[in-house]
Amino acid sequence: MATPDLLSKSSGLFEDEFSPNEPEIPFFEEPSAEIFPRDLKTYPAELRDEALRRLAYIQWVGKRLEGGWTEKNLTPLLHVVGDKLLAPLPSWRTLAGWRKLYVSSGRSVEALIPKHHKKGNRLEQNTGDDLYYWQAVNQKYLRPERPSIASVYEYYRDLITLANKGVVQGKVMHVSRSGFYNRINKLPPYDVALKRYGKQYADRKYRPVGAHITLTRVMERVEIDHTPLDLILLDDELNIPLGRPYLTLLIDSYSHCVVGFYLGYREPSYDSVCKALLNACLDKSYVKKQYPHIQHDWECSGKIETLVVDNGAEFWSKNLDQLCRVVVSDIQYNPVAHPWLKPLVERFFGTVNKKLLVSIPGKTFSKIDDLKDYNPKKDAVMRFSAFIDVFYKWIIDVYHRSANARETHIPYLSWQIGVSEFPPAQYTGETAERLIIELGQTFELVLRKGGLHLKGIHYENDELVEYRRSTSLPSGKKSLKLLVKLNPMDMSCIYVYLKDQDRYIKVPSVDPDNYTQGLTLLQHQTNKRLIRYQTRRHVDMESLAEARQYIEQRVQEEVDNIQRRPKRPSKSIGGMKSLAKHQNVGSDSVSSVVPSKVPMNEKVENQKPESDDLLDNWDDMVSDLDPY
């Protein structure tokens, strides 16, 4: 067998370590592990906040800047920033440096992360009363309970009083009540409203209301919203009503095409938004393979430029805000009582109810008064998986191919025109895997012998095995837990974050039968339910109950039998075990060390002493025997 080039090039370096007469060993080059850089979520919260603060300055100034990023152009803008952005205000040179890092990295938010985490242990030095002032502000004032400034000032003075206890020289001086009030009133009003009243109130009060703009391309503006469907669905396995599922859907404002959705029974949340975004951004060629009866392709995918959201609680999440700023270029928050700023997704929900659900048994109504004598739970006939099938078919082959009411456009034709003029950036290869890491379903799994186990599927590769060998357990922990990201549309692999190595690795499933190839999480969960259902069908519950009752009775009989016998002399368990081995006690022979038959010519009164002598002397007889 010929030696590969990789080995032949380096063989000269190790000629003295190999015997020329040794047989040649086949060389197989293993594929290198796929490595991905860390994502924004793996940084400490304070570093993420600082990066987003810098990005806010870049975006705010960029929208108002005329000319280059020079001192002459930047200084006037920085003077009018005021309380619009978080303090401290950067110098023009610092701001220009941030923008240079941001652009040179391909507009990556990670480029704005401060590099302090790579430095040594340098703690910030606090002087005067600043330490106690900010402690009082963060711990007392910026709270949803909204304590008064007077109570916060009292807390601030108490902190300083306790700090000065026992100090002779260099005591910290507190400011006056009016001075404290002035400092509180100079805090950024949006941040104060956010902490004390919540994101909805803060956004409603301080975020500007955007006007309608003329769209020029697909994925330039995408609307997202949730709604409970007016339909009762059945459990796939039990055929019992599950209730109304929640639909999270994204629609492109330029073409009116549905670009992604997620359907489930959990209330709208961070998780449902992530799943819907992942479905919207990635290629959807798998849909036609999974549902071959669908006639046309679902071509809608790519990077979202502006995501329009409403004031739902799931969109107030700080984690979601950070995530969306990585995945999309901008987020537009729809103000309260302004549904006309997000009309397409609202109109689509009405279209679903009127054109798709209207004739399906189990349809319900949003208003209970509209039900009259109709019972949707009683009439529900459609299983959850069947509706997913129907919904895909209706979106791709019906809605996308139908003209609107005024017959001015067809969604899929508008998409084709938009793509031909300005095709959106696509997620392929490494960028697609990076998106999966950002938006994938997050799990924390224990790394044990055999790798990682998720939803009954085993994941492992050589690098994960080596990581387990070389990584010690955290102090005070009995197991090693790892952060894992999963694409719900592909169970064939997971992405594992190795914290001490500051990177993700791609780990495939151990799948000799190719079960996970093209397998979605929904399909896997359905398969598991079917297996459980088929297993239960073949279990004879009556026979199991009878067998368990017999075991309980048999054990109790043995207990009663022992309790009725005279008290036995104490014997060595080790000696009795050796005696049992000698007498060949087993399931295929005898069940006692006592001989089964007693010779007839022996007297009854001599039997018990002989037995006692045998048992008493057995330990001495076997003590010198080696086990076998």
Q: Is the pLDDT of residue 413 over 80?
A: yes
**Is the residue at 509 inside a domain?**
yes
Q: How many domains does the chain have?
A: 5
The torsion region of residue 372 among left (phi > 0), alpha (psi -120 to 50) and beta comes to left
Number of residues in the chain: 628
What tens digit of pLDDT does each residue of 180-221 get?
Answer: 999 999 999 999 999 999 887 887 677 665 555 688 999 999
User: Is residue 164 included in any domain, yes or no?
Assistant: yes
Query: With bands split at pLDDT 50, 70 and 90, how would you rate the model's confidence at 482?
Result: very high
Residue 149: domain span: 130-206
Q: Report the percent of the chain where pLDDT is more than 70.
A: 76
Q: Based on the domain organization, do 391 and 296 belong to the same domain? A: yes
Residue 549 lies in a domain: no
Min mean pLDDT across 231-245, 246-260, 491-505 is at 231-245
Specify whether 190 is located in the same domain as 151: yes
CA distance 110 to 538: 55
Q: Does 386 share its domain with 473?
A: no
Question: Which residues 6+ apart lie within 8 Å of 625 measured at CB?
Answer: 578
Q: For 607-615, what is the mean pLDDT?
A: 50
- 263-283 confidence digits (pLDDT tens): 988 888 878 888 899 899 999
Q: What does the pLDDT read at residue 597?
A: 55
Contact present, 451 and 327 (Cβ < 8 Å): no
Q: What is the pLDDT of residue 20?
A: 46
Residues 230 and 345 in one domain: yes
pLDDT, average across residues 583-592: 64
402 and 275 in a common domain: yes
pLDDT at position 318 is: 64
Neighbours of 160 (CB within 10 A): 19
Average pLDDT estimate for 474-491:
86
Range with the poorest average pLDDT among 195-199, 426-430, 591-595, 611-615: 611-615
- The mean predicted confidence, pLDDT, of the chain is 79
Supply the DSSP string of 141-200, one letter for each residue.
ISSTT---HHHHHHHHHHHHHHHTTT--SSPPPPPPHHHHHHHHHTS-HHHHHHHHH-HH
CB 382 within 8 A of CB 360: yes
Kindly state the tokens that stand for 553: 């009775």
Q: Is the peptide bond before 37 cis (omega within 30 degrees of 0)?
A: no
Nearest Cα residue to 504 out of 436, 451, 454: 436
> What does the alpha-carbon distance between residue 180 and residue 26 come to, in Å, rounded to a whole number?
77
Whether the pLDDT of residue 23 is over 50: the answer is no
Task: Tell me if 331 sits within 8 A of 337, measured CB to CB.
Answer: no
Q: Flag whether 623 is in a domain.
A: yes
Within the chain, how many helices (H) and strands (E) appear?
22, 14
In 194-298, the DSSP E strands lie at 221-228, 233-234, 241-243, 246-252, 258-264
Residue 541 binned pLDDT confidence (cut-offs 50, 70, 90): confident
Burial state string for 583-622 with b = 16 or more CB within 10 A and e = fewer than 16: beeeeeeeeebeeeeeeeeeeeeeeeeeeeeebeebeeeb
Residues 348, 493 within the same domain: no
Q: How far apart, in whole angstroms, are the C-alpha atoms of residue 170 and residue 178?
A: 24
- Residue 76 falls inside a structural domain: no
pLDDT for residue 3 is more than 50:
no
pLDDT at 493: 92
SS3 category, 536:
helix
CA atoms of 156 and 134, how far apart (whole Å):
9
Looking at the structure, tell me whether residues 232 and 376 fall in a common domain.
yes
151 plus 299 within the same structural domain: no
Mean pLDDT, residues 397-416:
92
| Distance (Å) of CA 12 to CA 9, 16, 21, 24, 376 | 7, 9, 16, 15, 79
Contact 290, 333 (CB under 8 A): no
Cα–Cα distance between 527 and 148 in angstroms, integer? 57
Which CATH number do you get for residue 281?
3.30.420.10
> Quick check: is 299 in a domain?
yes
Sheet holding 246-252: strands in order across?
A: 258-264, 246-252, 221-228, 306-309, 330-333
pLDDT of 339 > 70? The answer is no
Domain boundary among 206, 241, 266: 206
pLDDT (mean) for 332-358: 79
Q: What is the tens place of the pLDDT at every residue in 122-140?
A: 444 444 788 899 999 999 9
Look at residues 323, 247, 289, 281 and name the one whose alpha carbon lies nearest to residue 487.
Answer: 281
What distance in Å separates the CA atoms of residue 311 and residue 254, rounded to the nearest whole number? 23
374 and 445 together in one domain: no
Q: Are 258 and 250 in contact (CB under 8 A)?
A: yes
The mean pLDDT value for 155-184 works out to: 89
Residue 21: pLDDT band by 50, 70, 90 thresholds?
very low
- pLDDT class for 4, splitting at 50, 70, 90? very low
Q: Specify the DSSP class assigned to residue 342.
A: S
- C-alpha to C-alpha distance for 212 and 411, rounded to whole angstroms: 20
Which residues are within 8 A (CB) of 409 and not within 5 positions of it... i.e. 6 or more apart? 256, 403
Same-domain pairing of 357 and 259: yes
Say yes or no: 458 and 508 in one domain: yes
Instruction: Classify residue 108: in a domain, yes or no.
Output: no
Cβ within 8 Å of residue 235, ≥6 positions away: 241, 242, 383, 384
Q: Which of 583, 572, 438 is nearest to 497 (CA)?
A: 438
- Residue 520: the pLDDT is 80
For residues 460 and 402, state if they share a domain.
Answer: no
pLDDT tens digits, 505-522: 999 999 888 888 878 887
The CATH number of the domain holding residue 162 is 1.10.10.60
Q: What is the pLDDT of residue 200?
A: 72
The lowest-confidence range among 99-113, 403-417, 560-574, 611-625 is: 611-625
Look at residue 286 and give its three-state secondary structure.
Answer: helix
In a domain, 231, yes or no: yes
Neighbours of 435 (CB within 10 A): 19
Q: Give the residue, 426 or 25, on which the prediction is more confident.
A: 426
